[in-house]
Structure 1
Amino acid sequence: MSGPLDSPNGIHYDSDRERYTVEYDRVRDTPSIQLIVAIAEIEGRNIDQIDSLYETIEPDALDAVFRESSTAAVERNDHLSFVYNGREVTVWADGRIDIGLTETERQRLSSGNDASEDDIGECDETREEGEESGERDESTEE
């Protein structure tokens, strides 16, 4: 599934904020897994095609900070922001993860190329295909 969506996994797109939001159950779910699953769904890819979270942040530490038993984080409405897989990510203590658009998605939307919200996820697929073939120009046909 590509592009902004309201999915059964709780991923929603807010066009005003140019962010996806996924809500997770702090008792049942871990933010590290929910983040990887959400990005895979947003980009229409399998989770094994997503960069390892370990390259950016320690997943166990992330989960420990935002686990359900960490009441101090919730009381202060703490959050942690970082860049992962080309996206600005903010994990909130209330069980919410905000996932920003990639630069490619922003450029496509701002260029007025008639890009609908349903096309946003396809930007990353095009970028990945270009990187694999060594080409940067998305208009080049093979």
Structure 2
Amino acid sequence: MQACTLVARAKINLYLEILGSRPDGYSEVAMILQSIALADRVRLQRRPHGIHLICTHPEVPADARNLAYRAAELLQKECQTNLGVEIHIEKQIPVAAGLAGGSANAAAVLVGLNQLWGLGLTVRELQHLAARLGSDIPFCVQGGTQLATGR
């Protein structure tokens, strides 16, 4: 497989309860999260090396400030591969709207590169890596309707 296209769905919080403070500076929460139809399209094209990101939205960075880019870097490092990728993000989720657009794109990159590079990681392993990038990303790896607790 040389390329794949994934749907990166936005998410909403159906329920949110702040349960207290955590020693790591985050809040202890209980939430019900739901994927919705609004989505970005993320196309991944295998390259011999490097990470190249293109996005249709001018306010979205195309470098290591982008969570999708950082997801690809994390997989390269953790799976000790020199394989590369071109990431093309077609934005439909509004930027900075609290709908987890960047998180959804990062999750799509983790899932897609796992397939494209033949890494063989489980959903659980992908979610553990996703948690290193951001709190919403593990949810976005699987999506659907989920109860989230912790940070």
Could you state the TM-score of these two structures normalised by the residue count of structure 2? Answer: 0.28
More helix by share: 1
More strand by share: 2
Bigger Rg over Cα = 1
Higher RCO (CA-CA < 8 Å; seq separation 6+): 2
Could you state the TM-score of these two structures normalised by the residue count of structure 1? Answer: 0.30
